[in-house]
């Protein structure tokens, strides 16, 4: 029973860690969104400046003010380079935002799987706590089947083979191995 309590505390700590990771990804996603908005504003401003300079250059060429035209050409070239740099920064920020959104989506889906794993651990804990019965072993079978996890299912089958319902005996190590594998799987689900 103490193992189950300890395991339950470990699972709670893992769940809290998962929430922290989700919060981290959310804040990263929010800051990148703000940066993308700022870069879009800079891009718009630079495009307006480029249009204005192109118009001024056309007027100067028509009036044959070569010297001022050269200065404006230089400004236009600089504005074009700045525009390219901002566009590149925007593309990079957009990709980073997209990557974080994808990670957040994956993490959200993985977090949704954790309650089923916790239910399986809870059901497994009832076997040694109450002594093995056909009913509590059947409940574990159902909870493990819901996971659709071949590794956990295989480990449970090995543990189940060590259970003697008639003698009310079991191999604690086999059951603990199953719980340990489920805990490791939960850890993998919440890792970034």
Cα 150 to the center of its chain, rounded Å:
23
Query: pLDDT tens, position by position, for the chain (192 residues)?
Result: 677 778 778 778 787 787 787 788 788 887 878 888 888 888 888 888 888 888 887 777 777 667 777 878 888 888 888 888 888 888 888 888 888 888 889 889 988 999 999 999 999 999 988 889 999 999 999 999 999 999 999 999 999 999 998 988 888 889 999 999 999 999 999 887
- Determine how many CB atoms are found less than 10 A away from the CB of residue 134: 8
Q: Tell me what pLDDT residue 101 has.
A: 87
Residue identified by tokens 């059951």 is: 175
- Contact partners, residue 182, CB within 8 Å, separation at least 6: 117, 120, 121, 124, 152
Please state the pTM of the whole predicted model. 0.54
Q: Which residue has the tokens 């249009």?
A: 51
- What's residue 149's pLDDT? 95
CA–CA distance, 34 with 128 (Å, rounded to integer): 53
Structure tokens at 160: 């189940």
Could you give the CA distance from residue 115 to residue 120 in angstroms, rounded to a whole number? Answer: 9
- Determine the angle formed by the axes of helices 172-190 and 150-161, rounding to 10 degrees: 170
CA atoms of 77 and 92, how far apart (whole Å): 23
Measured CA to CA, the distance from residue 44 to residue 38 in angstroms comes to: 10
């Amino acid at each position: 029973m103490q193992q189950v309590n300890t395991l339950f505390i470990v699972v709670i700590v893992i769940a809290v860690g998962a929430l922290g990771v989700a919060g981290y990804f959310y804040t990263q996603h929010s800051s990148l969104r703000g940066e993308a908005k700022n870069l879009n504003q800079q891009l718009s401003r630079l495009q307006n400046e480029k249009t204005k300079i192109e118009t001024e250059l056309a007027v100067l060429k028509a009036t044959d003010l070569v010297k001022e035209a050269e200065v404006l050409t230089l400004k236009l070239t600089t504005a074009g380079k700045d525009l390219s740099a901002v566009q590149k920064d925007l593309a990079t920020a957009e990709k980073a935002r997209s990557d974080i959104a994808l990670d957040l989506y994956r993490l959200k889906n993985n977090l949704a799987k954790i309650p089923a794993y916790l239910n399986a651990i809870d059901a497994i804990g009832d076997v040694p706590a109450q002594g093995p019965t056909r009913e509590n072993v059947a409940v574990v079978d159902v909870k493990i089947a819901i996971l659709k996890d071949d590794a956990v299912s295989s480990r449970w089958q090995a543990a189940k083979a060590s259970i003697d319902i008639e003698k009310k005996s079991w191999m604690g190590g086999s059951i603990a191995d199953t719980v340990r594998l489920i805990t490791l799987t939960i850890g993998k689900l919440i890792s970034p």
